Amino acid sequence: KYMADLEVKASENVVLACARIESVRKCVFTSSLVACVWWDYSLHNVPPIVDHNCWSEESICREKKLWFALGKTMSKRAAWRMAERNEVKLATICPGLLTGPEFYPRNPTSSVVYLKGAEEMYAEGLLATTDVSRVAEAHVCIYEALRNTVCGRYICFDRVIQTEEEAVELARKTGLPQQRYSGNTSSDSSVKLKLCMLLN
Q: What is the pTM of this model?
A: 0.83
DSSP string, 140-156: HHHHHHTTTT--EEEEE
Residue 1 annotated among the catalytic residues of the structure: no
In a domain, 5, yes or no: yes
Q: How many CB atoms lie within 10 A of CB 45?
A: 5
As for how many domains the chain has, the answer is 1
In a domain, 137, yes or no: yes
Looking at residue 169, its amino acid is E
Q: Tell me, what's the pLDDT at 71?
A: 95
Q: Tell me, what's the pLDDT at 46?
A: 60
In a domain, 59, yes or no: yes
Report the C-alpha gap between 96 and 127 in whole angstroms.
Answer: 8
In a domain, 28, yes or no: yes
The boundaries of the domain holding residue 31 are 1-195
> Average pLDDT per run of 10 along the chain, which is 200 residues long?
89 94 89 92 71 91 94 95 93 92 72 85 89 93 86 91 86 70 48 37
Q: Tell me, what's the pLDDT at 182?
A: 61
In a domain, 171, yes or no: yes
Catalytic residue among 9, 26, 65, 72: 72
In a domain, 200, yes or no: no
Q: Tell me, what's the pLDDT at 45?
A: 64
In a domain, 51, yes or no: yes
Q: Tell me, what's the pLDDT at 178?
A: 61
Q: How many CB atoms lie within 10 A of CB 128?
A: 24
Q: Tell me, what's the pLDDT at 1?
A: 75
What CATH number has the domain bearing residue 89?
3.40.50.720
> In 140-178, which positions are buried (b, 16+ CB within 10 angstroms) versus exposed (e)?
ebbeeebeeebbebbbbbeebbbebebbeebbeebebeb
